[in-house]
Amino acid sequence: MREQGVEFFFGETVAALEPDQAGRVARVVTDRRTLDADLVILAAGVAPNADLARDTGLDIGESGGILVNECLQTSDPNIFAGGDCAEVANLVTGGPGYFPLGSMANRQGRVIGTNLSRKAALDRGAGMARFRGAVGTWCVKLFQRAAAGAGLSAQAALDRGMDVLNVHMVQLDRAHFYPEKDLMSLDLVVERGSGRVLGIQGLSGNGDALLARINPVAALLQHGAPTVEDVSTLEVAYSPPFAAAMDVVNALGNAAENLLAGRMRNVEAGDFERLWQADEVTVLDCRAAVQGGAMAEKHPGRWLSIPQDELRERLPEVPRDKPLVLVCNTGVRSFESQIVLDAAGLGRSLNLAGGMAALGRAGVDVGQE
């Protein structure tokens, strides 16, 4: 967003919207500054408009939305509700869910329409259409990037008191030799004890490619309690113009399995930045010497370059005084290096999840090109 010239001002309170002489909005006044404006968009969240239902005496759920059953009947079975005013089941948590999305409203509208037309048949014992609930599958486009997700984010899971692992992966979205390849970031939210997948989120320059990874996991989340194994073995289509033979979504499941089993020890970009700034770690760059060497020259003694395929022969050069953070382009070769170091009894290393690509996307500047 910043690359596109968008400025962010956090922690400020809007005090006034000032009009021009024609009465159109011209300025936004905050407690710290005044900004000229042609258009003001207030995105202050969405709350269900359920006053009419409340006043009528219909039951209202925890979210403030109208309570409905799977047939989308309210507490008065002759009144149906759906869309932004209704609360449905959250199929991941099993609790109440509120998903104010046009996709939900349309699906629920069909169920309601079907059930209204079947009401007479229902009264004779025929089946009704059902809407079981939702996992909250969403997507947005931000300039040339797309973001999408389904289920719980790590923060939403933590807010519910769950013990979760956020597995971050950056990998090519199609075969490495295919010209239109692009790096895709995915996060898998996993319950630590059970290995149950609770959600997935992603960021990509290609929205269609991203949805091809989010949607199948959304389907898994809707129809069971998927585990990381279900994601690592998830069947998705492969051909070089569309995917890699080991698809990025399967690689995400593999990384989750490795983390849960303790085979992989990761550090996220934000935590790495703190460790780096506090000079608490030495970086071992596992990329080709031309990339790693350039960073080693910039940070003598703090950033070392040993390409992954030379590491076994160059183990004596690996420093032992501080914990190591292993980096490569996307976190794959650095993980392979971690296995080599573990086998050599040098088990204090952390793998930078998503590698240098993740640092760039998180806005962490360590002097990289």
Ligand X SMILES: Cc1cc2nc3c(=O)[nH]c(=O)nc-3n(C[C@H](O)[C@H](O)[C@H](O)COP(=O)(O)OP(=O)(O)OC[C@H]3O[C@@H](n4cnc5c(N)ncnc54)[C@H](O)[C@@H]3O)c2cc1C
Q: Which residues bind ligand X (CB under 6 A)?
A: 52, 83-84, 100-103, 105
Query: What is the nearest approach in angstroms of ligand X to the Cβ of residue 39?
Result: 13
Residue 295 is encoded by which pair of tokens?
Answer: 């960073």
Query: What is the nearest approach in angstroms of ligand X to the Cβ of residue 154?
Result: 23
Cβ proximity of 355 and 172 under 8 Å: no
Q: Which is nearer to ligand X, 103 or 368 (CB)?
A: 103
Contacts of 326 (CB under 8 A, 6+ apart): 283, 284, 286, 334, 335, 337, 338, 341, 349, 350, 351, 352
Query: What is the nearest approach in angstroms of ligand X to the Cβ of residue 114?
Result: 16
Phi, psi for residue 165 in degrees, rounded to 5: -115, 130
Angle at 344 between CA 341 and CA 348, to 5 degrees: 50
CA 2 to chain centre: 20
Cβ proximity of 352 and 325 under 8 Å: yes
Q: Which is nearer to ligand X, 39 or 120 (CB)?
A: 39
Query: What is the nearest approach in angstroms of ligand X to the Cβ of residue 102?
Result: 3
Task: State how beta strands 324-327 and 350-352 pair.
Answer: parallel
Instruction: Using CB positions, name the residue nearest to ligand X.
Output: 83
Going by C-alpha positions, the residue among 330, 205, 188 that lies closest to residue 259 is 188
Contacts of 113 (CB under 8 A, 6+ apart): none
Give the burial class of 288: count Cβ atoms within 10 A of its Cβ; 0-12 exposed, 13-18 middle, 19 or more buried.
Answer: middle
Query: What is the nearest approach in angstroms of ligand X to the Cβ of residue 73?
Result: 16
Q: Which is nearer to ligand X, 25 or 261 (CB)?
A: 25
Query: What is the nearest approach in angstroms of ligand X to the Cβ of residue 184?
Result: 21
Q: Which is nearer to ligand X, 43 or 278 (CB)?
A: 43
Q: Which is nearer to ligand X, 215 or 342 (CB)?
A: 215
Q: Which is nearer to ligand X, 110 or 263 (CB)?
A: 110
